[in-house]
Amino acid sequence: MKDLFFKASIQTSRLVTRLYSTSFSMGVRMLHRKFRDPIYAIYGFVRFADEIVDTFHAFDKQCLLAQFRQQTHEAIRSGISMNPILNSFQWVVNRYQIDNELIDTFLQSMEMDLTKKEYTQDEYKTYILGSAEVVGLMCLKIFCEGNSGEYERLKPFAMKLGSAYQKINFLRDLRQDNRELGRNYFPHIDISHLTVETKRQIEEEIEKEFAAGLDGIKQLPAAARLGVYLTYVYYTALLRKIKKTTPEELIRKRVRIPDLKKWYLLIFSYIRFKIGRIKS
């Protein structure tokens, strides 16, 4: 019966991933089968934490997040949870020996979203570390399958890639973050008067991080490379679209890639992978 409950838990994490992110789900499908369920479990966990701080406005979000943190660590310690999302997550944490420090760093960034509206440069870096870079490191733990040397070697690349993704998310979600949630992640920048030059500087930062991230993708184990490369292709397409969008338009609407274009990117990525364009 425990096997049946575990199967139900993983299916729940998979369902959450597919409901919330078609693009990420496509990337997971391109991973080797052995990596898919663990990555679904990671995504389900981070998605639920993010959901608490971003959408549960009618509830005590601070209390909910504190309960979520406590239940997470209890699940990891006991090796089981009646919350299927946390049950999947504890399985991954215990199986791949994911450090509690990574988990706590992520949750600390989620806590920042409860109260922070403006960020200093140091707070900006701290938030990106917790909300994106350590999530990439959790995934890297899975891809390296216990090879600590490989993990340490690829760690800087994974962090750069996670940082680039998060900064693109910040630009893509300017309207929701600023107008609906009252947040401004970019330090010392008045979002309501975002200039072309300031936007260009952020885009150049992202491009530099992408260059390092791509170097890391090429060094990933082959079983993980195509799936991660697909997310890279998707986010570079987002960045190209953002670069063509004026600051005023970014405030008014959320930049997105149409589903048909996502399928084109999937096919494009697969072909490049097959002809050896992203091999180490």
Mean per-residue pLDDT, 88-112: 97
Work out the average pLDDT over 14-22. 93
Q: Are 255 and 241 in contact (CB under 8 A)?
A: yes
| For range 45-53, the mean pLDDT | 97
What is the pLDDT at residue 277?
Answer: 62
Q: Is the dihedral of CA 195, 213, 262, 270 positive or negative?
A: positive
Q: Which residue has the higher pLDDT, 2 or 193?
A: 193
* Homologous superfamily (CATH) for 2-274: Farnesyl Diphosphate Synthase (1.10.600.10)
CA distance 179 to 164: 23
The span from the CA of 211 to the CA of 206, in Å, is 9
Q: Where are the domains of the chain?
A: 2-274
Residues in contact with 233: Cβ distance below 8 Å, sequence separation at least 6, in sequence order: 265, 268, 269
Q: Stretch 20-48: mean pLDDT, rounded? A: 94
Say yes or no to pLDDT of 177 above 90. no
